Structure 1
Amino acid sequence: MWIDTHCHLDAPEFSNSLASIVSAAKEKNVQAILLPAVKAVDFPQVKKLAAQYGNEIPGLVYTLGIHPLYTNQAHEEDIPYLEEQIIQSLSDPRFVGIGEVGLDYFVEGLDPHKQESFFHAQLDLAQKYHLPVILHVRRSQDAILKALRRRKIAGGIAHAFNGSFQQAEQFIELGFKLGFGGAATYERALQIRRLLIELPLDTIVTETDSPDIPPAWLREEGIKFNEPAFVSRIAKELAAIRGINDVEFASAVWRNAMQALPRWSVLSADNPHLTLAS
C-alpha cells in the first residue's frame, strides 16, 4: 500500500476529472491520502471530498488551515472561523490536524507580517487543541523553527522539505516528519537526495503535492499535472535512491505518517482494509 501525505484533490486542475483521478490512485494501491486545505472558503469542500471519496480511498483524510500564499486574500475573521471548523471536525475521524500553514519567503508580493500573523494564530490553535500541523517551509525554515519552539506543538509534517541537514534535525527533534516527493526524482536535486539518503528512515514520509511538484518523468511522458496515483512510482524511486527495497520503504513511510498524525492512525486501526499496512 502507498500513502500520499500531501495532495490537493480540491485543486481546480482536478475539478473536471476528480473521479478518474481518485480511481487511478486506487488502481495503483494508494490507500491513504492527506488533503490539506489552503483557504478558509475551501474548508467545506475539503471535508466534503474526504467523505465523498473515503470509500474509494479508505485512508483519505484532511487538515484545515490557511496557506501562506493565500494570506493576502485572508481576513481576520478567518481565524475564528477556522477555530469553529476545528471544533466541529474533532468528531470527524477523517480530520487529522491543522494545515497547510507556514511561511513562504520565496514568492514575491506576499506581506511577511500578515503571513506571520496568520501562521502564529494557527499555531496557537494547534497548541490549544493538541493537533499536529502540516507545514509549508519554503525558504523559511529558521523562522518556522523559532515559532515552533515558542509553543508545545504535537509534531506533524514539514512538507516538501528542502532545508539543511541541521535544520532537518531540529524539525525532527520537535516531533516532525519530513515530506519527500517528485523533487527528489531530478538528478540535479543533490541536496534533497542527500537528505533522503542520510536522514533516519523513521523521519521520512512520501507525498506528491498534486497537482504541483511534478516528478522528472512527467513532462517527458506528456502528462500535464501531477496526481496521487504517481506516488507509487515516486516512492519506488525514493527507495532506490535510499538503497532499500520497495516493501521496506512503503512500510516505513506508512508507519511514519501514522506517528506524525495520530488521528490518522486511529482511522487506520478502525478500518479493516488498512490495519495490515499500519
Structure 2
Amino acid sequence: MTHVPEITDSHCHLDFPDFADELPAVIDRAVQAGVSRMVTICTRLRQAPQVRAIAEAHDPVFWAAATHPMSAAQEPMATLADLLDLAQHPKFVGIGETGLDYHYTAESMDVQQESLRIHIEAARQTGLPLIIHSRDADDDMARILAAEYDAGAFSCVLHCFSSSPELARAALDLGFYLSMSGIATFPKSGELRDIFAAAPVSRILVETDAPYLAPPPHRGRRNEPAYTRHTAHVGAQLFDMDYRDFAAQTQTNFDRLFKKAAAWEAST
C-alpha cells in the first residue's frame, strides 16, 4: 500500500455548526487523506472552551484563538491577560485569527486596529505565531505589521491569503508566511497563483478555512480538512514540484512556524 504524503490543514473551524453531526467522521476522512494535523480556530474568545474541547478530544487537532476583526466591535475587547492565559494550554498553538476586515466592517476599523495590536503583543510574549485575516485593508495591514515588528519581533502567517502582491511582499520581507486556501485553486484566481508562485516555497502553508471555500471538485459545497490535499496539489504544480516533495516542504514550514505543535507531537 502506497503511503499517503502527510500535510497539515493549518486553518479550519471545526466548532462551526456545519460539522456538529459528524465531526469524528470529518476528522477521520482528513487523516485518511493524509491530513495528519488540523488547527481549529476560535474566532470569539467566549467560545474558547468549546474549541479547546475539540482539540482535547481528537489527537490530530490543535487550536488557536482570538477575536475575529469582523466581531471586534461586538465582542468584549480581548485583553493580553486573556490571551496569555489561553496560551498555557498544551495544544494551543497560535494567536488568531485577528486582523483587519474593511470589506464588511470598515466602520469599526479603529476598534479592529486596537484589537490587532493587543493580539500582536500576545504573539510577542508567547512566541506563538500570529494568524492574520486581512481583507480590503492592505495598506493599513502592511503599515501596522511593519511598525509593530520594528517595536519587537513576532512570527506570523497571513491565512487564506488573497490580497495584493504588495501585501505579500511586505509580509515576506518581515519573514512571515502565506497560506494557500481553496481560493488559489479557483479557475479565475490566476493572479493569486502568480503571487504564490513568486514567493519562496519555504514560506508557504496550506489550509481549508473549512467549512468555507471548498476547492474543486467540491466547490459550492461544504469544505472540510480532507480537501486540503486539492489545494496542496495545486501548490505543487505552481512550484513545479512532485506532490510528495511539496507536501514534505509544507510540513517543514508548518513545524518551523508552529513550533509548539511540532514539539507536542514529538513528545507524544
TM-score (norm 2): 0.90
Tell me, yes or no, if structure 1 residue 262 matches structure 2 residue 259. yes
| Alignment partner, residue 50 of structure 1 | 55
Conserved? CA contact 2:236–2:246, under 8 Å: yes
Q: Distance in 1 between matches of 2:258 and 2:35?
A: 18
Alpha-carbon distance between aligned partners in 2 of 1:137 and 1:168, rounded to the nearest angstrom: 11
1:168 equivalent in structure 2: 168
Contact kept in structure 2, 1:67 and 1:101, CA below 8 Å: yes
Deviations 1:4-61 (A, max 9, x none): 111111111111221111111111121111112100111111111101011xx2xx21
User: What is the aligned partner in structure 2 of residue 89 from structure 1?
Assistant: 87
Q: 2:102 aligns with which of 105, 108, 126?
A: 105
Cα root mean square deviation, aligned: 1.8
Q: Following TM superposition, by how much is the alpha carbon of 1:169 offset from its aligned partner in structure 2, in angstroms?
A: 2.2
Aligned counterparts, 1:39-78, within 5 A: 39-54=44-59, 57=60, 60-76=61-77
The alpha carbon displacement at 1:85 in A equals 5.0
Quick one: which amino acid aligns to residue 61 of structure 1? F
Q: Does the 8 Å CA contact 1:154/1:175 hold for their aligned counterparts? A: no
Q: Answer whether contact 2:43 2:65 (CA < 8 A) is retained.
A: yes
Letter in 1 for 2:45: A
Cα deviations across residues 210-261 of structure 1 (Å, max 9, x unaligned)? 0011213214xxx730000111122112212332110110011111111122
CA distance in 2, matches of 1:114, 1:39: 15
- Code of the residue aligned with 2:42 in structure 1: it is A
Deviation at 1:136, TM superposition (A): 0.3
Q: Which moved more, 1:145-154 or 1:187-196?
A: 145-154
Other-structure match for 2:232: 235
Q: Contact 1:132–1:153 at 8 Å: present in 2 too?
A: no
Residue in 2 that maps onto 1:2:
7
Stretches of 4+ moved more than 6 A in 1? Answer: none
Percent identity among equivalent residues? 27
Instruction: Give the drift of 1:158.
Output: 0.5
Matched, 1:118 2:115: yes
Unaligned stretches of 5+ residues in structure 1? 272-278
* 5+ residue gaps, structure 2: 1-5
Contact 1:62/1:97 (8 A) holds in 2? yes
Task: State the alpha-carbon separation in 1 of the partners of residues 153 and 199 from structure 2.
Answer: 22
Q: Is the 8 A contact 1:183 1:216 kept in 2?
A: no
Distance 1:88 1:118 in 2: 16
Kept in 2, the 8 Å contact 1:182–1:215? The answer is yes
| Contact 2:162 2:183 (8 Å CA) reproduced | no
Instruction: Determine the structure 2 residue equivalent to 1:154.
Output: 154
Partner of 1:24: 29
Kept in 2: contact 1:97–1:132 (CA 8 A):
yes
Q: Which residue of 2 aligns with 1:211?
A: 211
Change (3 A) 1:142 1:265: farther
SS in 2 for 1:73: coil
**Counterparts of 1:195 and 1:243 in 2: how far apart (Å)?**
15
Which residue does 2:3 correspond to in 1? Answer: none
Q: 1:181 aligned to 2:178?
A: no
Structure 2 CA distance, aligned partners of 1:140 and 1:266? Answer: 34
CA contact (8 A) 1:127 1:154 kept: yes
Cα deviation code 1:89-117 (max 9, x no counterpart): 32x33111210000001114652222122
SS in 2 for 1:150: helix
